């Protein structure tokens, strides 16, 4: 684990500024933070009991929408809960999928408990490479991430990115982005299905 971590808002702003028409899948903590930066119709915020599901949600959408690029956000805690999904994603080989793990060392939305990643025992990049991801990178510095984000998102897919970020703080409660049926209908309309 790096001693220096970038601010989450800054890390997400880099992606917002690079985004064109990619589908962005958020769960848990990123479902709270990404809507502060983006209200794009191809934002898919999935909150109910979604810890650990970002990768497989992104995989399903990437396979169903092969002409669209999909960026799915997971937290380090969620990734730890679903390590098997790395093998599934790598086996399916969706070239249009980027899985980004926000590693802040805690289970932020459940109260701030430390994850196993917080004590330096987990190398997510090595796990993704061992599972078969085409590309896997880690960033701890915001300037480095900003300078290399575009090239990283253009690498062969599926892509795996770890962004080591500071925790957001003690505001762990997630506000609902609205009724699920409404959000799904809006998302389907944006997809053209």
What are the pLDDT tens digits along the chain (193 aa)?
A: 445 789 989 999 999 999 999 998 887 777 777 778 888 888 887 765 677 788 999 999 999 999 999 999 998 988 998 899 999 999 999 999 999 999 988 777 676 777 777 766 789 999 999 999 989 999 999 999 999 999 999 998 999 999 998 887 655 544 555 666 777 787 788 888 6
Q: What is the distance between the terminal CA atoms of the chain, rounded to a whole angstrom?
A: 42
Q: Residue 156 has what DSSP assignment?
A: S
**Nearest one of 145, 8, 133 to 58, comparing CA atoms:** 133
What is the reported pTM?
0.84
Q: Mind listing the domains of the chain with CATH numbers?
A: 8-191 (3.40.50.970)
Give the pair of three-digit tokens for residue 110.
């459940």
Collect all residues with Cβ–Cβ distance below 8 Å to 178 and sequence separation of at least 6. none
């Amino acid at each position: 684990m790096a001693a220096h971590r970038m601010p989450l808002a800054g890390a997400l702003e880099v992606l917002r500024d690079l985004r064109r028409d990619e589908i962005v899948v958020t769960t848990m903590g990123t479902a709270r933070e990404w809507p502060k930066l983006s209200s794009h119709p191809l934002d898919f915020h999935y909150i109910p009991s979604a810890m650990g599901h970002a990768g497989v949600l992104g995989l399903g959408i990437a396979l169903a929408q092969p002409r669209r690029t999909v960026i799915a956000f997971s937290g380090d805690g969620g990734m730890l809960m679903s390590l098997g999904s790395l093998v599934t994603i790598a086996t399916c080989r969706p070239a249009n999928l980027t899985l980004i793990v926000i590693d802040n060392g805690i289970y932020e939305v459940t109260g701030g408990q430390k994850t196993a990643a917080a004590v330096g025992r987990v190398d997510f990049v090595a796990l993704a490479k061992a599972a078969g991801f085409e590309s896997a990178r880690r960033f701890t510095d915001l300037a480095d991430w900003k300078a290399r984000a575009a090239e990283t998102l253009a690498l062969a897919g599926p892509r795996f990115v770890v962004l080591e970020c500071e925790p957001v703080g003690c505001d762990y409660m997630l506000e609902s982005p609205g009724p699920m049926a409404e959000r799904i209908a809006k998302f389907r309309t944006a997809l053209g299905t």
